[in-house]
A = this chain, B = another copy of it.
Amino acid sequence: MNPGVAWIAVDWGTSRLRAWAMGHDGTPIADAASEAGIGRLAKGGHEAALLALIGGWLPPGRRTEVIACGMVGSRQGWVEAPYAAVPCPPLDSARLAAAPAADPRLSVRVVPGLKQVAPADVMRGEETQIAGFLAGRPGFEGIVCLPGTHSKWARVAAGRVLAFRSFMTGEMFALLSEQSTLRHGLSGWDDTAFGAAVAAIRSSPGELAATLFGIRAEGLVAGLPPGAARARLSGALIGAELAGVAAFRRNEQVVLIGAEAPARAYAAALALEGVAPEVQPAAAMTLSGLARAHSCEGMRA
């Protein structure tokens, strides 16, 4: 029992579940995480997975509000929270979807993702980070880049997401570095090799698949060190993403929202074309977005 818990913020993605117990003053008083990602849970297993993580935080005798974002709102999640179509605000607290919970201490609401019809695109989770960023910077106009499994570039103005583009860069890095022929001989990092690969693929993105095999070949033929190999893999994939997003990004200012390592890599890649992005930590933006949904939800009720 924890009487100081005002509400609970939850970031529930494909591979991880993360929660914060929020105090009445709006700051987290506890946090917890587990591997009970949406991709690992069967239908009907969500409430138990959540209670296993946060059950101890719930005061008895009343409902505690839980606001969750991420894949928890997908068709494979706890409750499907239908996408809002851009252009629209990143997060509309009137559209939170109630998830069915049997425990009388729980009231769970899920943030909807965003969709774009043409070109077809979707996001779940990043909209909350964008909302969290805009909570502190309501007048921002420019591009928000969110590196990740499926990295996103969103054009934002007047508190709305106008359009966005997703790239499979992070998932390709994971597949190639963990499950492909390249998986042997990748470890460490080499900034110079990273920058060279970004620049080469940025100007010749068609070279990507040859560059990838070349990492293996140069390991066999010329002893390419594993740090250079890993950095080249990352640089080639990010360089291809920068080439692909160039027309969308134009020359607008860029804010990077990401975990430390990917944000550093993207910032280094952008620096090669003279862009010095502002960097914001992903977890803080998620929490800020969830807090915004909670506070507006409260005002609406």
B-facing residues in A141-170 (Cβ within 8 Å): 149-150, 165-169
Is there a chain B Cβ closer than 8 Å to A122's Cβ? yes
Cβ–Cβ contact B168 & A209, under 8 A: yes
Nearest B residue to A242, CB-CB: B206
Nearest B residue to A241, CB-CB: B209
| Interface range on chain A (Cβ under 8 Å from partner) | 35 or more
Is there a chain B Cβ closer than 8 Å to A179's Cβ? yes
Choose one: B119, B122, B209, B218; the contact of A244 (CB below 8 Å). B209
Is there a chain B Cβ closer than 8 Å to A221's Cβ? yes
Is there a chain B Cβ closer than 8 Å to A171's Cβ? yes
Cβ–Cβ contact A122 & B217, under 8 A: yes
Cα(A230)–Cα(B149), bound, Å = 21
Is there a chain B Cβ closer than 8 Å to A181's Cβ? yes
Q: Mark A195-234, 1 if CB is under 8 A from B, else 0.
A: 0000000001111111011101110111010000000000
Cα(A23)–Cα(B285), bound, Å = 71
Is there a chain B Cβ closer than 8 Å to A110's Cβ? no
How many Å from the CB of A193 to the closest CB on chain B? 14
Inter-chain contacts of A165 with B (CB < 8 A): 210
Question: In this complex, which of A120, A149, A172, A243 has the most chain B Cβ atoms within 10 angstroms of its Cβ?
Answer: A120
Cβ–Cβ contact A244 & B179, under 8 A: no
Cβ–Cβ contact B122 & A220, under 8 A: yes
How many Å from the CB of A246 to the closest CB on chain B? 7
How many Å from the CB of A216 to the closest CB on chain B? 8
Choose one: B122, B169, B204; the contact of A209 (CB below 8 Å). B169
Inter-chain contacts of A220 with B (CB < 8 A): 115, 120, 122
Beyond the given pairs A206-B240, A207-B244, A209-B241, 8 more chain A to chain B contacts, judged by CB atoms under 8 angstroms and listed by A's residue number, are: A117-B222, A120-B218, A120-B221, A122-B221, A167-B209, A171-B181, A205-B205, A205-B243
| Residues of A that sit less than 8 Å from B by CB | 83, 115-117, 119-122, 149-150, 165-169, 171-172, 175-176, 179-181, 204-210, 212-214, 216-218, 220-222, 224, 237, 240-241, 243-246
Q: Could you list 26 A-B pairs, sorted by A, with CB under 8 Å?
A: A115-B220, A120-B218, A120-B221, A120-B222, A122-B216, A122-B220, A122-B221, A149-B181, A150-B213, A166-B217, A167-B209, A167-B213, A168-B176, A168-B212, A171-B180, A172-B176, A172-B209, A175-B176, A205-B208, A205-B243, A206-B243, A207-B244, A208-B208, A208-B240, A209-B240, A210-B245
